[in-house]
Amino acid sequence: MNELRALMKYETAGDPVGDLKWTRRTTRKIADALGKVDIHVSKNTVGRLLKSIDFRLRVNHKKRSTTSPPERDAQFRYIKKMRGTFVKRGDPVISIDCKKKELVGDFKNAGEAWRESAIEVLDHDFRSNAKGTAAPFGFYDQEANRGFVVVGTSRETPEFVVDCLRTWWRLEGRARYPNSKHILIFADCGGGNGCRCRVWRVRLQERFCDHYRVSVTVCHYPPGTSKWNSIEHSLFNQISKNWQGQPLESYERILKSIRTTTTETGLKVRAVLNNKTYPTGVKVSDDELDQLSLRKLPTLPKWNYKIIPRKITI
């Protein structure tokens, strides 16, 4: 079973809210891969084993309005290659994303929980009745099986994302990887860290790479494939399960629910609050963009790039 879990570690996608997980590999291919490590089982046995570790058969749903980019598979292969390179060197590999924003207050939260009586909540989810909004921005270190979440009270802007990265590095990353000067980040194509976001790249250069003297390589998942980002099914869905059926009536409740999220495989999560206000509509000039120490990687440069610290002149 441990061999099967190891084999599926990087071949898994999942629902960020529910328990469903799935894989691109067929049971025959999995059986062949197990045979290479002297574990000989049939494809039917593989199917039963997958069910025992919460994988399920999936059917097609006509819900997508656009097709996947033609470079999708090539990008997945490149992500796998980059992950292996960084892991082998002992450098950090983290998946990042912003979880669904939540209203803070006495609102209904989907799911069920064991209790003596039902909790009464407001009958309408009006924003005007909320104490605020929570934007949980997460970091997941798959090799260490560690999660880190910054709960923002403002907006998911590029400045917010970079501040979250700085917080993770100060409180977690630098201590776990004291000798590393290179970080690999897997991210979606949109949001505050979108692949076309100019502010994200400029702030990443200024406030992280230059400040901490650390190079950052970013690989974006193609549009429509965010479910394959490991943070979705390894961290966010576990948080959702931990607070299901419990009204998120305060920021303290949200932080506590995140911090107490664990799994049988040893997941541990740390959470902090960021109550800074972030304005929208921030723009950067062409001159600022030209001054970046950014190298587009040869494979699919629109999704893969590296930012290195600039030389400090006195």
At 26-72, the pLDDT tens digits run 777 777 777 877 788 787 887 777 777 667 655 555 445 456 799 99
Q: End-to-end CA distance of the chain, in Å?
A: 58
Q: What is the pLDDT of residue 42?
A: 85
Residue 223 covered by a domain: yes
Residue 60: predicted pLDDT: 58
Alpha-carbon span 255 to 271, nearest angstrom = 6
Minimum mean pLDDT range among 33-37, 129-133, 248-252: 33-37
Are 154 and 273 within one domain? yes
What integer is the mean pLDDT of 134-141? 98
Check if the beta carbon of residue 177 is closer than 8 Å to that of residue 91.
Answer: yes
Does 294 share its domain with 197?
A: yes
pLDDT digits (tens, 9 = 90+) for 252-306: 999 999 999 999 999 999 999 999 999 999 999 999 999 999 999 999 999 999 9
Which residue is associated with the tokens 């990443």?
204
Distance CA 257, CA 269 (A): 10
Helices (H) and strands (E) in the chain, counts: 12, 11
**Torsion angle defined by CA atoms of residues 235, 240, 241 and 245, in that order, rounded to the nearest 10 degrees:** 170
148, 41: one domain:
no
Whether residue 96 is found in the same domain as residue 235: yes
Residues 233 and 169 in one domain: yes
Q: Cα(47)–Cα(52) distance, rounded to whole angstroms?
A: 9
Cβ-proximal residues to 202 (8 Å cutoff; 6+ apart), any chain: 284, 288, 289, 292
Could you tell me if 111 and 31 lie in one domain? no
Residue with tokens 């084993």: 49
Would 149 be classed as within a structural domain? Answer: yes
Is a pLDDT exceeding 70 seen at residue 182?
A: yes
Whether residue 312 is contained in a domain is answered as no
Shared domain check, 111 and 250: yes
184 and 301 assigned to the same domain: yes
Nearest alpha-carbon partner for 296 in 307, 309, 310, 311: 307
155 and 39 assigned to the same domain: no
8 A C-beta contact, residue 114 and residue 208: no
| Range(s) of the domain holding residue 33 | 2-52
Whether the model clears a pTM of 0.95, i.e. scores above it, the answer is no
Question: Residue 18 in contact with residue 237, Cβ under 8 Å?
Answer: yes
